[in-house]
């Protein structure tokens, strides 16, 4: 395998992984919306800072090289914030 074909093969692998990540994010968002529906029924707030911190703490504790804690926090803070935004939008509908 030449360097160019090896790079292309690795990029194709990255593309497959990106597709998997996207699928997992969709599933996560679907579950978040279901949680939001239930929270609305029982009168709970969308934002639960304690739960969000528990999630972040658990993920940071599970972080493995080559990732570092800061990257994991940035990515998952964004995911959590965007899912909260989706939940809020669904509640307004």
CB-based contacts of 45: which residues, under 8 Å, 6+ apart? 39
Give the tens place of pLDDT for each residue, 3-38. 799 999 999 999 999 999 999 999 999 999 999 999
**Domains of the chain and any CATH numbers:** 3-92 (1.20.59.10)
Q: What mean pLDDT comes out for the span 80-87?
A: 95
Contact 63/69 with Cβ under 8 angstroms?
A: yes
Q: What mean pLDDT comes out for the span 33-54?
A: 95
CA distance 57 to 54: 5
Q: pTM for this one?
A: 0.88
pLDDT at 2 > cutoff 80: no
pLDDT of residue 91: 82
CB atoms near residue 41 (< 10 Å): 8
pLDDT at 86 > cutoff 60: yes
pLDDT at 1 > cutoff 70: no
């Amino acid at each position: 395998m030449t360097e160019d074909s090896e790079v292309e093969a690795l990029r194709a692998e990255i593309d497959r992984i990106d597709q998997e990540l996207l699928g997992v994010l969709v599933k996560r968002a679907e579950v978040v919306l279901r949680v939001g529906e239930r929270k609305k029924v029982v009168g709970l707030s969308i934002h639960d800072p304690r739960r969000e911190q528990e999630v972040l703490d658990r993920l940071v504790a599970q972080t493995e090289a080559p990732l570092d804690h800061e990257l994991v926090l940035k990515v998952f803070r964004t995911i959590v914030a965007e899912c909260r935004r989706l939940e809020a939008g669904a509640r307004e509908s």
